[in-house]
Amino acid sequence: MCSLEKRGNLFILTLTGQSVEHRLNPHLITSIIAALSQAKAQSSRGSALVTVSHGKFFCNGIDLDWVNAVARSNQEAQQHFDHLYHSLKRLVLAFISLPMPTVAAVNGHVAAAGVVLALCHDYVIMRRDRGVLYMSELDKGIGIPEVFMALFRAKISGSTRRDILLRGLKIKGEEALKMGIAEAVHDGEEGVTDAGTEMGDELAKRKWDGEVYVEIRKGLYPELCGMLGMTSNVTATPKL
Amino acid sequence: MCTLEKRGNLFILTLTGDDQHRINPKLIGDLLSLLSQVKAQATRGSALITQAQGKFFSNGFDLDWAQAAGSEQGASERLLHMVESFKPVVAALLSLPMPTIASLTGHAAACGFVFALSHDYIIMRRDRGVLYMSEVDIGLTMPDYFNAVFREKIGDASARRDLLLRGLKMKGDEAVKRGVVEAAYEGEGEVRAASVRMAEELGKRKWQGEVYAEIRKGLFPQLSAVVGLSHKTIATPKL
């Protein structure tokens, strides 16, 4: 479902598995959370994490097949969906509390909950030549859960938020760069993946204290962190 | 440490000397005292320019003074003391009954940057000087009001992230482009002249100071609350 590799100070989280679309279901989510736990346990000053994927999709949203598969009624489907939503909240929490800078190397299409996954990272790099970022909910007639809204409010400014959520735009790399969603764009899957690891290495070189880094991140996103049940720690003693 | 000059309708607050203008209890005391004076002498059409001499606008809290406490515990306490006692400076600027301009001819870092952001407008140099939140690099977390200043004064989420989470050293042109500052000019002389021009233009509007301050506080409700300011609604318009 996903694999974790350590290359020097850089953790590389790869979305693997049979599914070409890397859709989020409880198995994949649990697998990612476990990998993040491992990275956290092995982290030190100057750690960083980059998430990569391969193929046409970075992540195409939640696994609706899973939601509908075992459900014998609408009520059961709703229960599965709720379960999935709670798992996604735990996934967001795991990323936001990771004590190191994080980069999403978005190699292809990213939609709905996949966008949420990408935005969980501190930085997003996209492909210039292929792939779109698309919040499909409006077109599909699905509402957007509160935690996801908080994530958008935290990470994306004003009219861009409206354009992504209320306008059903399919945003290509260059556009995402201009809109301030993506940090950089590169050509080709390898281009994006390489840029992602390069950026991870660069951020790692700053040798930031992981605990301080998380606290500063929490200060940037107080509404989201409050919703995720994260509390603030006492000010760390600086190395004066 | 700092001086106050009145030039027509303009109040000019200058951090004097060639040093880093580190923010310590002495400077904080002086700033509070001078800002009180400015408030007392305010009239319609007043404006404030805060400027500094030398290579720095301000390089943040006086960590040397904190360290001089002699122990880790002592240093922490001194730092916390400075963090708390700077809040009234932010409060004083937020409630000052006139437009305010931070005229940056040098670097503004950490609390120095927050000091600048506590003004209505920032004008800086494009050829020299950076804006920099050093905390992530030195392993310090942000006081609550620092986060509030950034959240309410800088609209662009990625600019906030780059400044706070990435320790970006932002130069004039980028700061203008990303909406962090009002304008950037070439050289110290041009920055000072532009600041005076802007202050005079704003002064010409002859705004009623009390109303100005209330509208300002309304723009920054979280920051106002965090630094202990309350907000009045003034009902009587001049219809």
Alpha helices in B70-138 (DSSP H): 72-94, 111-117, 135-138
A212 — contact with chain B (CB < 8 Å)? yes
Cβ atoms of A49 and A98 within 8 Å: the answer is yes
Q: Is A154 close to B157, i.e. CB distance below 8 A?
A: yes
Report the candidate in A63, A160, A39 with the shortest Cα–Cα distance to residue A111: A63
pLDDT digits (tens, 9 = 90+) for A92-140: 999 999 999 999 999 999 999 999 999 999 999 999 999 999 999 888 8
Question: What global pTM score does this model have?
Answer: 0.91
CA distance A11 to chain B (A): 18
Residue of A nearest to B150 (CA): A220
CA distance B135 to chain A (A): 9
Q: Which secondary-structure segment (H or E) carries B26?
A: helix B25-40
Q: What stretches in chain B show pLDDT beneath 50?
A: none
- Residues from B contacting A (CB-CB < 8 Å) are 63, 66-67, 72, 75-76, 79-80, 135-144, 146-147, 150-151, 155-158, 160-161, 164-167
Contacting residues of A for B142, CB less than 8 Å apart: 215-216, 219
pLDDT of residue A142: 82
- Residues B47, A77: Cα–Cα separation, whole Å: 63
Give the rounded percent of residues in chain A with a pLDDT score beyond 90. 76
Q: Is B80 close to A235, i.e. CB distance below 8 A?
A: yes
CA distance A75 to chain B (A): 39
How many alpha carbons fall within 13 Å on the CB side of residue B196? 10
- Give the CA distances from residue A6 to residues A1, A12, A35, A198, in Å, rounded to whole numbers and listed in that order: 17, 6, 11, 14
pLDDT of residue A236: 47
pLDDT of residue B234: 58
CA distance A238 to chain B (A): 5
Report the candidate in B94, B90, B65 with the shortest Cα–Cα distance to residue B79: B65
pLDDT of residue A69: 80
pLDDT digits (tens, 9 = 90+) for B117-148: 999 999 999 999 999 999 999 999 999 999 99
Q: Is A154 close to B63, i.e. CB distance below 8 A?
A: no
Q: Is A180 close to B158, i.e. CB distance below 8 A?
A: yes
- Residues A186, A198: Cα–Cα separation, whole Å: 12
Q: Is A239 close to B80, i.e. CB distance below 8 A?
A: no
Query: Tokens 């437009």 label which residue?
Result: B99
- Residues A96, B162: Cα–Cα separation, whole Å: 16
Q: What stretches in chain A show pLDDT beneath 50?
A: 236-237, 239-240
Contacting residues of A for B167, CB less than 8 Å apart: 206
- Residues B63, B74: Cα–Cα separation, whole Å: 12
